[in-house]
Amino acid sequence: MKLLVTGGAGYIGSHAVQRLVRDGHEVTVVDSLVTGHRAAVDPSATLHELDLRDTPALTELMLATQPDAVLHFAALSIVGESVQQPLRYWDNNVGGAISLLSAMAAGGVERLIFSSTCSTYGEPERMPIREDAPQAPINTYGRTKLAVEGLIQDHAAARPGFSYAMLRYFNVAGCDRSGRLGEDHRPETHLVPIVLQAAAGLRDGVAIFGTDYDTPDGTCVRDYLHVDDLVAAHVCALERLRPGRGDALNLGVGRGYSVRELLAVAKRVTGVDFPVTEAPRRSGDVPVLYADPSRALVRLGWAPECSDLETILSSAWRWHQAHPEGYA
């Protein structure tokens, strides 16, 4: 297939592009490179440095490349920053999605995979989280993603042949197991790379924010999914798109690991006893978040294969050791 991937120079998008190219697809990448990395884009893909909100340029590209489907990863995604800069997030995430759907409509492209998030659920009362749980996001990032979900559903309702899958991520972690791709955010806010930077001596240590939660060891519990497993789910979703049908699916492993559990595995994998300090809770942190992935398992025929903590951390550790300064 001919595929257009937005945000294909980012962490998850670049992993998806590599897999799609490997599977024999013709891939066009659209990325502004504001947060993405040119070096992360598979050399067999064609990169267009383009702001998604530039609807005329995006429409021209859509007409020129005539993709069979779009995989939409592009978004600003730092939760704290979204609260501090809400207008920027609404403009980029929702404005970019409006522009993308407009360009797709002009180009007659009727298939979409959307990178959504468990942040749309806010603070769920029940675990594990099912797709029918109330969606009540508690931050701007989550609200923009939920708005885009609604936008896609409205667009599909007006176009009977349109098909889509909205994939709600939990905690994506790890690096490409072949070693070519990694995780490099500026600034880095994700726990796994922060922990590994501490192990590599690039940070003074790791802080645990909150040790008095109602969890087995007092620290937050999260559902970690290896990025390779996440990409595999996208491939399955793409293959199962059917005209006039849409779906929303949680992608996770169906169990949670605490911060202390992750730190213990990280020390074992790296062989480094890096410093760990305890700090007060952060506003907005939910004690426990993990998915019920049963719908994805049934409808996609997909299941995680490499999402144990040891594989997640060892794959990331190999890349961070080889790239101590990231893609720079």
- CATH number for 191-223+254-322 (one of 3.90.25.10, 3.40.50.300, 3.40.630.30, 3.40.630.10): it is 3.90.25.10
CA pair distance 72, 158, nearest whole angstrom = 20
CA pair distance 289, 194, nearest whole angstrom = 20
Arithmetic mean of pLDDT over the chain: 97
45-67 pLDDT, tens digit each:
999 999 999 999 999 999 999 99
Residue-level pLDDT at 282: 85
The whole-angstrom distance between residue 95's C-alpha and the CA centroid of its chain comes to 19
Residue-level pLDDT at 286: 85
DSSP one-letter code for 32: -
Residue length of the chain: 328
164-215 pLDDT, tens digit each:
999 999 999 999 999 999 999 999 999 999 999 999 999 999 999 999 999 9
User: What's the whole-number mean pLDDT along residues 71-99?
Assistant: 97
Residue 278's CB: how many other CB atoms inside 10 A?
Answer: 12
User: Is residue 285 predicted with pLDDT exceeding 90?
Assistant: no
Residue-level pLDDT at 283: 80
| pLDDT band per the 50, 70, 90 thresholds, residue 243 | very high
* pTM (two decimals): 0.97
Three-state secondary structure call for residue 98 = helix
The whole-angstrom distance between residue 16's C-alpha and the CA centroid of its chain comes to 10
Q: Look up the CATH architecture of domain 2-173+224-251.
A: 3-Layer(aba) Sandwich (3.40)
- Name residue, tokens 């169906």: 254
User: Is residue 284 predicted with pLDDT exceeding 80?
Assistant: no
Domains of the chain by residue range = 2-173+224-251, 191-223+254-322
Residue-level pLDDT at 20: 98
Residue-level pLDDT at 166: 98
CA pair distance 105, 199, nearest whole angstrom = 48
What percentage of the chain carries pLDDT values higher than 90? 97
φ/ψ of residue 29, rounded to 5 = -105, 130
> Known catalytic residues?
141
